[in-house]
Every structure is written in structure tokens, then in C-alpha cells.
Amino acid sequence: MLKAVILIGGPQKGTRFRPLSLELPKPLFPVAGFPIIYHHIEACSKISSIKEVVLIGVYQPSEALNRFINATQREFSIAIRYLQEYATLGTAGGLYHFRDQLLSGQPEGFLVFNGDICCKFPLAEMLEFHKSATNKPHFTMLATEATRKQSVNYGCLVENADTHEVMHYVEKPETFVSTIINCGLYLLAPEIFKHIANVFQKNQSEIINGDPLFPTKDSIRFEQDVLSPLAGTGELFVYKTNNFWSQIKSAGSAIYANRLYLSLYHETHPDRLAQNSSNGPQIIGDVYIHPTAHVDPTATLGPNVTVGAGVTIGPGVRVRECMILEGAVLQDHCCILHSIIGWNSTVGAWSRVEGTPNDPNPNAPHAKVDSDALFNIEGKLNPSITILGDSVTVPPEVIILNAIVLPDKKMDGSFKNQILL
Ligand code: GTP
């Protein structure tokens, strides 16, 4: 029996996701029609030995989180529960704090996921690899290839090419270490708790000088404090994937993840992809339309568009590379490109809402750097997607270009390269 753990962070994390995370915890933000961590749980549901999914985070329990847990455990017939940390304990501190609950039932191991990754989740292959690596208790991490330049933004590792043992691990190195990067998905034998306990004991005896995000001595970083020392001990192995992998940090990377999950639907859920029909809108490429959305047959959608529940899309509307969130209204002939339209927002007739794509390096299909700063060194907003927060109103016949608009704003004209409060 295995358990899955998804680290979902808390309100102090995910700041690059604002204003969208002001309304909803980031792990519940819908990508390709479903909450970010729904994709993790769906992958777990396909592995029969996973009997429970534990979400660990710092969010206050909320109606949205409870509703998600109840609906998802019903859908996949898998037990899901939420354990709340009393403070931000870091990527290993929560595991340690809740070790008794996690170890109850004596699982043989744990699949631990960073909540903000997006990938094909090769769980069956990883389990197979893990079993074959050695007979001693050990740990396996998922990794992928990045470019030299991208790699330093991630955890980098050096492997023994014959045994796939991890010989060296550095989190976000200052200089180049390796193009093999940590994907934030681990398969851990229960012995991992001994290693985390060693770090915990050491931390208790030291004065931790202030990272304000980790205000307690109980916080432990899995990557730096646990993985780095494990490298070269014969206990840590790497399973590499060539399939797509990305992190969802900023709203811009959610658009990219949306595209990746939509393309995966060809394999996993062709029924989720909209098709052209004589009485429906024109569909170009990969498009997901929630069954409760109303789309006028003269609209054109795609490629890479997700339309949420209860959305209304009027005649002649054009949408491309976008996420239109629940309850939004796109009035006649408006044009929406490279943007996220927030919940219940309205875009007036003949208006244009447009962002500038920041596509990943085409030479690195498996990874995407998301270090894009919001502002450049001159203090100007970097080109990026346009985001309308919750319940924003865009009047008819205006242009909104590369803008971030905070919730409830009633706009009264055209705007370009601005953050609108
Ligand atoms: P950044 O680029 O700085 O964001 O680093 P990173 O990509 O390594 O991410 P980070 O280690 O901050 O987080 C990885 C995952 O763990 C994310 O899904 C976070 O939400 C989650 N996480 C981070 N810190 C905590 C924590 O203190 N508690 C819990 N439960 N989850 C956390």
C-alpha cells in the first residue's frame, strides 16, 4: 500500500499568481478545465496501490477546498484528506510534523508531489524503476532535461549513468551543475523520516537566522536539507522523463500548462476536446468547453483555449491561447488573445484584450523557466499575458494590452502595459 502526499503551500506562497490567487487557493485554480491538483489526483487514481491522498498545506480549511475534496474523492473513489500546518513548515517540515498520520496503516512508501507541477505523471514507470533500483530502502526522484541556461533556476543533479544513483544535488545552483533538473515528484521509502528527523534535531539546536517565510525552527526544506545530503549515499536514485513537464508559478505559466494538458487530452480524454460541428462554433486546435458554457455558433475558438462553467461567448467572438474562467461574459465580436479572463468578468462588444506570449525556449520542450519577472530593470512591466481578475468590467470598443487588472475594476477606456488597481 502506498500513500500520495501533495504539498499545496499556503497563502504566503503563490504570490506570483496574483491577482488570480486572491479569490481561490492557487492549487484549486482550473487548468484545462480542472483544478491544478485534480490532475495529480487523477494520476494517483490510476495506481491501484495508492489508497490515500493527503494534501498538506498552510491554507485555512475553506468551503472551496472541502467541496473540491468531497467531489474528487467521490469521482475517483479514493480517500483524500487535508492536513493543515500551523505555520509554513517548508517542503519537508509538514511531512515530518504529520509523520504519525502518514505512517499509520504502515504504507510501503509515499509518492510526494509538489502541488504546482504540471506533467504527464509517469507514476507506473517510476514505481517500476524504483523497485528495480536496489533491494535496500531508498528514494527515487523524477527529473527531466533543461537547457544549460534554464537549469540553474531548478534543483540540478548529477547521476551515475549506469546505476541512476544521484551523486550530487544542488538546489538552484549559482553556477552550472547539470542539465538534469528535479521535477518535484518523489517516491520515498518510509525510512525518509529518519533523514528528516536528523535535520529536525539539528535545527532545534541551532539558531535560525530569519527567512521570514520560515519563521519556525520546525521548518525543513526537502531539497536543500534532505536531498543534497542524500546524494552519493547509495539511497537516492533518479528516474528521468522525456515527456512534458512544467511548473505553474505565474499566471503566464498557467496558460502554458493549459496548453500542455489540453494536448495530453488527445491521449487520455479525447472526449474533453471540443469538435467542429454544423451547429457549433469554429474550433481550431485544442479547445475545452465546459458543458454548461454557452458559445455562439459564429464564434471562433482556439488553439489552446479553455472555457469554464457558465461562460457566455457571443456572436463573432475570437478567442485564442486563453483561459476564460467560470461565469465570464464575452460580448459580440470581442477578441481575446493570450489572456486569462477572471471569474464573472465581462468584456464589452468589439473590445480587444490581448497579451504578449512569452513562449518557452523551443529547444527545451520538456521544461519551462518561469523566472520571468513582472518588471524589467527599467521598472516597466515585462511583456506578458493580460489577466483580468474576478468581476472586472471592460467596456465596449477599447483595447487592453499587456495589463493586469485587479478584481472588481470597472475600466473606462483603453490601457496598455499597466497594473490597474
Ligand atoms: P520557487 O521557485 O522559489 O517557488 O521554488 P520551488 O519551485 O522549489 O518551489 P517551492 O519549494 O517553494 O515549492 C514547491 C511546492 O511545495 C509548491 O507546490 C509549494 O506550494 C509547496 N510548498 C512550499 N513550501 C511549503 C510549505 O511550507 N508547506 C507546504 N505544505 N507546502 C509547501
Tell me how far the alpha carbon of residue 303 lies from the centroid of ligand 1, in angstroms.
31
The pLDDT score that the predictor gives to residue 213 is 53
Tell me how far the alpha carbon of residue 70 lies from the centroid of ligand 1, in angstroms.
24
Residue to mutate, 29, 116, 144, ligand 1, most ligand atoms under 8 Å from C-beta: 116
- Residue with CA at minimum distance from ligand 1 atom 32: 9
Instruction: Give the DSSP H/E element, type plus range, for residue 63.
Output: helix 63-76
Q: Could you give the residue ranges of the DSSP H alpha helices within 269-403?
A: none
The SS3 call for residue 213 is: coil
The pLDDT score that the predictor gives to residue 18 is 80
Closest CA to 13 of 176, 219, 198: 219
Is residue 239 within 8 A of residue 141, CB to CB? The reply is yes
Closest CA to 353 of 305, 304, 403: 403
Could you give the domains of the chain?
2-247 (3.90.550.10), 278-420 (2.160.10.10)
pTM of structure: 0.92
CB of 90 shorter than 6 A to ligand 1: yes
Q: Which residues pair with 381 in a beta bridge?
A: 375
Is residue 306 within 8 A of residue 324, CB to CB? The reply is yes
Q: Which residue type is seen at 147?
A: T
The pLDDT score that the predictor gives to residue 276 is 97
Q: What is the pLDDT along the chain (421 residues), one digit of tens a residue?
A: 999 999 999 988 767 788 887 778 999 999 999 999 999 999 999 999 999 999 999 999 999 999 999 999 999 999 999 999 999 999 999 999 999 999 999 999 999 999 999 999 999 999 999 999 999 999 999 999 999 988 999 999 999 999 999 999 999 999 999 999 999 999 999 999 999 999 998 887 765 555 555 556 789 999 999 999 999 999 999 999 999 899 998 888 899 899 999 999 999 999 999 999 999 999 999 999 999 999 999 999 999 999 999 999 999 999 999 999 999 999 999 999 999 999 999 999 999 999 987 655 444 444 443 444 444 444 544 557 899 999 999 999 999 999 999 999 999 999 998 888 8
Torsion angle, CA of 191/193/197/203, rounded to 10 degrees? 130
Give buried/exposed letters for 205-236 (b at 16+ CB in 10 A, else e): eeeeeeeeebeeebbbbbbbbbbbebbeeebb
Closest CA to 196 of 178, 218, 170, 165: 218
Q: Could you give the residue ranges of the DSSP H alpha helices within 281-417?
A: none
Tell me how far the alpha carbon of residue 220 lies from the centroid of ligand 1, in angstroms.
11
CA distance 54 to 107: 13
Strand order in the sheet with 287-289: 287-289, 305-307, 322-324, 339-341, 386-388, 404-405, 419-420
- Residue with CA at minimum distance from ligand 1 atom 1: 249
Closest CA to 248 of 414, 87, 36, 105: 36
Tell me how far the alpha carbon of residue 249 lies from the centroid of ligand 1, in angstroms.
10
Q: What is the DSSP string of 281-298?
A: -EE-SSEEE-TT-EE-TT
CB of 114 shorter than 6 A to ligand 1: yes
Tell me how far the alpha carbon of residue 13 lies from the centroid of ligand 1, in angstroms.
7
Residue to mutate, 12, 26, 91, ligand 1, most ligand atoms under 8 Å from C-beta: 91
CA distance 179 to 177: 7
Is residue 29 within 8 A of residue 21, CB to CB? The reply is yes
Tell me how far the alpha carbon of residue 11 lies from the centroid of ligand 1, in angstroms.
11
Q: What is the DSSP string of 223-257?
A: IIIIIHHHTTTT-EEEEE--S-EEE--SHHHHHHH
Integer-rounded Cα Rg, in Å, for the chain is 22
Closest CA to 251 of 79, 73, 29: 29
- Cα–Cα distances (Å) from 201 to 194, 222, 225, in that order, read 10, 15, 12
Is residue 388 within 8 A of residue 357, CB to CB? The reply is no
Is residue 158 within 8 A of residue 167, CB to CB? The reply is yes
List the Cα angle 17/20/26 in 5-degree steps. 65
Residue to mutate, 8, 13, 245, ligand 1, most ligand atoms under 8 Å from C-beta: 13
The SS3 call for residue 278 is: coil
CB of 85 shorter than 6 A to ligand 1: yes
CB of 97 shorter than 6 A to ligand 1: no
